[in-house]
Chain A
Amino acid sequence: DIQMTQSPSSLSASIGDRVTITCRASQGISNYLAWYQQKPGKAPKLLMYAASTLQSGVPSRFSGSGSGTDFTLTISSLQPEDVATYYCENYSSAPLFGGGTKVQIK
């Protein structure tokens, strides 16, 4: 079975910082990867699909890259409203989520 490993599990950064979250698949999944943002008490929100395609309405400070086994989600300039937990999801076969990365403001 494919495993999805996210890192770090949490991070603190300052407003305006560039933030990078990594998701690694235990075997190649092409670009069948999505990213979600989840705020406390809310449902997840789709940010990105096909590894690098921005979902409609998502701010352009979010970007995604990668293919095969290694993927990144980047926030180019962290904003207060970006405080959330971020999940990657592999949909090359049965959907599987990474463990999540909690992003906080320093």
Chain B
Amino acid sequence: QVQLVQSGAEVKKPGASVKVSCKASGYMFTGYHIHWVRQAPGQGLEWMGWINPNNGGAFYAQRFQGRVTMTSDTSSDTAYVELSSLISDDTAVYYCAKNNWFGGFDFWGQGTMVTVSS
């Protein structure tokens, strides 16, 4: 069965960087984009961008450009998102999600809580 398993919670200081992983199983990793979506406490969903594991190509939401990097490792079927220059407003649950070619995201990771605090 399809599974996306994310790395554990992180606590970072303002100005630092964080890297979250998402290990995929149960499907052909290189066949589908992986998207990253975040959710601040009590707030809605915010799309951050996608990575194409087949060729490493990535596309980022405008508001994160220059601060986010999405990568993938086909040897371990793992996708990564790294966010730099963290501020308190980056405190959120970060989700990876598998693209459904017919629309939407059909499988999601369990989420990784990132807390930015001095």
Q: In the complex, what residues of B have CB within 8 A of residue A46's CB?
A: 100, 104-106
Taking residues whose C-beta sits less than 8 angstroms from the other chain, chain B's interface range is 20 to 34
Query: Helix, strand, loop or mixed for chain B's interface?
Result: strand
User: Which residue of A33, A44, A50, A87 has the most chain B CB atoms within 10 A of its CB atom?
Assistant: A44
Query: Helix, strand, loop or mixed for chain A's interface?
Result: strand
Taking residues whose C-beta sits less than 8 angstroms from the other chain, chain A's interface range is 20 to 34
Contact, CB under 8 Å: B102 / A50: yes
Residue B80 interfacial (CB < 8 Å): no
Q: In the complex, what residues of A have CB within 8 A of residue B109's CB?
A: 43
Q: How far is the CB of B104 from chain A (nearest CB, A)?
A: 3
B25-70 contacts to A (CB < 8 Å): 35, 37, 44-47, 59, 61
Q: In the complex, what residues of B have CB within 8 A of residue A45's CB?
A: 108
